[in-house]
Structure formats: C-alpha cells, structure tokens
Amino acid sequence: MKGKIKNILIIFLTFLPCVVILELFHTGFVFSLDRQAKHHAIEVVKEIDSILDYGEESNKQALNLISNDHSCSKVYAEIRTIVARIPYVRTTNLAHDDKVYCTSLWGPRELHYDSMKYISGKLRLMPGSEVEVKYPLIVVRTKIGKNVALSGIDGRYIKQLFSKQKSNPFVISLAIGDAWLTDNNKFTYNNPNKLFLAVQRAKSKTYPFTVYSGFNSSSSWLAFWQGELFYILVILLAQILFSIFCWWQLNRPRPLYLELERAIRKKEFVPYAQPIVDAITKETIGIEILMRWKHPFQGIVRPDLFIPQAEDSGLIIPMTDLLLKETAKQLREYKHDLPTPFHVGVNISPQHCKSSILLDECKVFIDEVSNHNVILVLELTERGALEVSEFTRGLFYDLKMLGCKIAIDDFGTGHSSLVNLQEINLDYLKIDRVFVKNIGVDCTSEHLIESTVELAKRLSLRIIAEGVETEAQAEYLKKQGIENLQGFLFAKPIPLGEFLQNYNQNISVIDSD
C-alpha cells in the first residue's frame, strides 16, 4: 500500500511541473506570436516601401519629360523606356488638370481620373485595370504643380512578397484606405483579419498604407498545439521519463556507480557498429564502434544515460578496455573479408590520456586482430577538456608509432580548440551531426563546415561527417571534398556481430556474381 501511494505521489509531483511548464510555455508562445507578427509586418512594410519607391522614381523621371504644350508624342517613347527600365512598374501615365493625356501603354489618350480617390493624394488600391481587370493594381501618384504622374504596380508583385512569408505561420494583408489586398492577391473592402490570432499592424512612414500580420488560427491553445507540437511532446515525454527516472532512483537497489561496476564484471557493455562510407563510391571503408549497455532487465541502455557517470567515476577506462577486447575478438573472425584498409573508430575520453593503460589496451587490440589492414582510430571525445602535457604528447606519439590514428570527435561542439590541433598529431576531424542536419537550412552551419574543410586541407587532415540523413546532405558534403560519411542514410548502429555477418554475406553474393 505504501509503495502504491509513493508511486502516485511520484507521478503527481513530477507531472505538476509539466502543467506549470506548459502554461508558461503557452504564455510565452502567445507573446512570441505577437512579437513575430509585429516583426513580419514591419519587414513587409519595408519591402513594400522599396517597391513603391520604384513607382515614385518612375513618376519623377516621367514628370521631368513634360513639355510646355503637354504633347504626348514627344515623350511617349521615353516614358516606355523608363517603364521598361525600372523594376515592378507596369505602366506610367501623365496627367494635367485631372485628365490623363499620355500613357506608356497606348501613348496619347484622354482619360479622366479622380484625384480624391488617392489616399493622402499619393496611393490608391484598385481592383483591376483596363488591361487586366482581375488583378489588383497599386497606383503611385506624384504631383508637381498641376502636372501629375501615375505609375501602376501589379498586385502580383505584392503577392510574391507575401508568399516569401509562407515559411512563417502568418497571413499578411495590405490596407490602403478602406481597400484591402489579401495574401492571395484578392481585392476586398472587408477586413480579412477578423478570424486570425495575434494580429499586429505596421504603418509605412513614407506611403499611406498599413500592413497587417496575423496567425491563421482562432484559438491560442490550438495554435500552440499545432505550432509547438514537437516541443509539447518533448515536454510530456521528458516528464514521463523524469517520472520513470524518479521511480527508478527511489526503487533501484544500488547506486549507478555500483551498477556500472557490476555491468563491467558481467561484460554487459557490447559493441555496436555504424558504417563509415566513401563519399564518392558509397562503399563501406570502416565502422565506428559505439558502446551499448545490454542490461539484463532494462534491455539496451542508451550511452547518454551512463557514459557521463562512467567518465566522472573513472569507470570509462575499464569499460573501453572491455569494448576493445570484444571488438577485436569479433573482428578477428572476419578479418579476411574486410576491405583494405578498414577503419575502426573507437571513442576515448580525456581521462584515457592520463595513463599508459590506453597504450596497453591498443597493443592488445592490434595483437588480437592480427591484421595490419585494420586501422584503429581513436576518436577523442570533447565532453571534457584535454590537458596537453609532455605525458600526453608522448602517449599520442607512442600510439601513432603503434599504428593507431587519432581523430577529434564532434569537432567544434565541445572543448576542442586550435591548441589541440597544434599540440596533437591528428589524422581526422569528425564534423558533428548538429552542423550536418542544418545543411540547406542554416547557412551558418554550411559556412562552418566549409571553414572546417579548409582548415583540414591546410593541416592535411581527413574529414568524416556524422549524422548524414539525406541524399542532399551527402551530395553537399561530397562537393565540399569531405572524404567519408556516416549516418542513418547509410545504416543505423547495429550489434557488431550482426554487421560483420551481413557484410560477409554481401561480399559473398558479390563474389558469386
């Protein structure tokens, strides 16, 4: 009974923060919507201002051509040239005393226009024109004395501007007087923002128009659910995991340190393999060995749940020793089927670099595999800072003499520094998945990748890119000159024995063909 009450209390106490967090998150979401809507409205105003400036410029150039007799035939050709040269302007017309007497489309022509319909005497939104009655037109009016120039700008240019905002969940509309231009280039006298959420507006300081930006939803909670579903699920999942973790902490029979010691004695840490492929041929040239905890009750335990504790406690050293021995044992059975050379990457932490144990473990690995074509690549992780000393320099030198290669794992995300590149005789840099996943999305990540490639070339280092999940990412990395790729696009990590068996079968099929 006490155990049941304790579990209920755990659930209540862990999910109560979830409710509070979601409410705070929702409040912040609504505030963010208002701020983003205002920002988008201001940005669109700036861009529309720049488009209308072209109309103003066309008007000014056309007014400079007016002759004393207001003859259209003298200036018609030059007005057409102005319209053809200035972007966004579809037509420019000259008027005098409320009568248009010259147009860039038809030349001399008498048309009446009503200056009173122009907001502040400068701007008018029309549902269409004589040429295209279905497409709204924005007319920019410029007056010097009694001379007037009118330039028409197609509403489709504004629609294209609105379409640029489609990557954002906001609907943009334009108001000139009591006339509206909607995001789908429709002319209306009805306010299209009544059903939207977090509607914000921004007025132009140059022209008499207002831009409205609103979220396309009638409920803030619905918008919150639709817009932040991933993070809501993450919060809920985190709370569930937190509840499970709290239950486990309260009910587990021993501290994690003792559990890790037990797991080492029982050899529960097993090697998983993820292939590393040639960026051009897509052939497997090696693997990265990833540690997994095969717990007798909980199944496969993710490394992020125990690696940090193992490093803090120093148990990472015997765990790595266990992993190297098991990897060497399994590789030896298939060593004749592996390509030449075959890259085998194993993570090491800065704690490995404080004693000669790592060197002894690598010697045992090389002797066990007994194949010079298998190259052991030690991938220095960056969860902790590496203290470079005379001892570490000597250790890395001895490892290189032994035939090992040295790589910096997750370069640029941890404690890496240019000092490490200078002090350690490296062979590889591994680009972290956090940069690879943003290829095509964030130009900053692409610049960092390109800079890393350039740095590696100057230092004569090879590069492995992790976390490749799409063909587009792989193609981009290949074009940057990155030699090797790794990620879910090619394969997920699987038990080493399963990988070697599958690889052997594939080789056998190719040989038989």
Instruction: Give the CA diameter of the chain.
Output: 104
* 214 and 339 inside one domain: no
User: Would you say the pTM of this structure is higher than 0.75?
Assistant: no
Is pLDDT larger for residue 31 or for residue 347? 347
**Domain boundary at 205, 227, 251, which?**
251
pLDDT of residue 11: 65
Q: 98-112, 200-214, 265-279 — which is least confidently predicted?
A: 98-112
Residues 274 and 180 in one domain: no
Contact 213, 41 (CB under 8 A): yes
Q: Are residues 187 and 214 in the same domain?
A: yes
214 and 263 fall within a common domain: no
- What pLDDT, on the 0 to 100 scale, is given for residue 2? 41
Q: Which long-range contacts (CB under 8 A, 24 or more apart) does 461-465 make?
A: 461/426, 461/427, 461/428, 461/429, 462/427, 462/428, 462/429, 463/428, 463/429, 463/430, 463/431, 464/276, 464/345, 464/407, 464/428, 464/429, 464/430, 464/431, 465/430, 465/431, 465/436
Q: Give the angle subtended at the CA of 117 by the CAs of 115 and 120, to the nearest 5°.
A: 80
Rounded to whole angstroms, the Cα distance separating 390 from 486 reads: 34
Give the 3-state secondary structure of residue 70.
Answer: coil
- What does the pLDDT read at residue 367? 92
pLDDT tens for each residue of 221-232: 777 777 778 888
β-partners of residue 465 are: 431, 485
Q: How many CB atoms lie within 10 A of CB 253?
A: 6
Residue 116 DSSP label: G
Q: What is the mean pLDDT of residues 247-265?
A: 76
What is the per-residue pLDDT for 1?
A: 43
Please determine, for residue 9, whether its predicted confidence score (pLDDT) is greater than 70: no
Q: Does 102 lie in the same domain as 3?
A: yes
| Band of pLDDT at residue 272, cut at 50, 70 and 90 | very high
Q: Which residues of 184-215 are buried (b: 16+ CB within 10 A; e: fewer)?
A: ebebeeeebbeebbbbbbbebeebbbbbbbbb
Number of domains, the chain: 2
Give the CATH number of the domain where residue 486 resides. Answer: 3.20.20.450
136: which 2 tokens?
Answer: 């709204």
Tell me what pLDDT residue 415 has. 55
Give the model confidence (pLDDT) of 413-447 as tens digits. Answer: 765 556 667 778 889 999 988 889 988 888 888 88
Better-predicted residue by pLDDT, 106 or 131? 106
pLDDT tens per residue, range 332-367: 988 888 888 999 999 998 888 888 999 999 999 999
Helix (H) or strand (E) holding 92: strand 89-96
Q: What does the pLDDT read at residue 282?
A: 92
CA distances from 430 to 158, 224, 274, 324, 358 (A): 45, 37, 14, 20, 21
If asked whether residues 243 and 289 sit together in one domain, one would say no
CB 400 within 8 A of CB 426: no
Percentage of the chain exceeding pLDDT 70: 90
pLDDT at 131 > cutoff 90: no
Question: In the numeric block, which tokens belong to residue 445?
Answer: 């990540």
- Whether 213 shows a pLDDT value over 70: the answer reads yes
Residue 159 is predicted with a pLDDT of 78
420-423 LR contacts (CB < 8 Å, sep 24+): 420/386, 420/388, 421/455, 421/459, 423/388, 423/392, 423/393
The pLDDT tens digits of the residues spanning 416-425 come to 556 667 778 8
Tens of pLDDT along 94-106?
998 888 989 998 8
Instruction: Based on the fold, state whether residues 262 and 362 are members of the same structural domain.
Output: yes
Poorest-pLDDT segment among 142-156, 223-237, 454-468, 498-512: 498-512
pLDDT tens digits for 158-194? 877 776 555 567 888 899 999 999 888 889 999 988 8
Q: What is the dihedral of CA 435, 441, 443, 445, to 10 degrees?
A: -10
Are residues 204 and 321 part of one domain? no
- Give the chain's count of helices (H) and strands (E): 15, 21
**Of the candidates 329, 323, 331, the residue with the CA atom closest to the CA atom of residue 303:** 323
Angle at 250 between CA 246 and CA 252, to 5 degrees: 110
For 56-70, 172-186, 251-265, 490-504, which range has the lowest pLDDT when averaged over its residues? 251-265
Whether residue 321 contacts residue 359, with contact meaning beta carbons closer than 8 Å, is answered with: no
126 and 265 inside one domain: no
Do residue 231 and residue 334 come from a single domain? no
User: Strand 187-188 vs strand 405-411: parallel, antiparallel, or unpaired?
Assistant: unpaired
Rounded mean pLDDT of 272-297? 92
**Contact in structure between 308 and 383 (CB atoms under 8 Å):** yes
* Domain match, 324 and 366 both: yes
* Segments forming the whole domain that contains residue 339: 257-512
**To the nearest whole number, what is the mean pLDDT of the chain?**
85
Could you tell me if 262 and 244 lie in one domain? no
User: Which amino acid, residue 131?
Assistant: V
Helix axes 357-369, 316-333, angle to 10 degrees: 10
For the segment 473-494, the average pLDDT, to the nearest whole number, is 94
Mean pLDDT of the region 301-328: 90
Average pLDDT over every residue of 278-297: 92
> Which among 251, 280, 298 is the end of a domain?
251
By the 10 Å C-beta count (0-12 exposed, 13-18 middle, 19+ buried), 139 is classed as buried
Last residue of a domain, one of 251, 282, 302: 251
Taking 60 as the threshold, does the pLDDT of residue 267 lie above it?
A: yes
CA 286 – CA 274 distance, rounded (Å): 9
> How many residues are recorded in the chain?
513
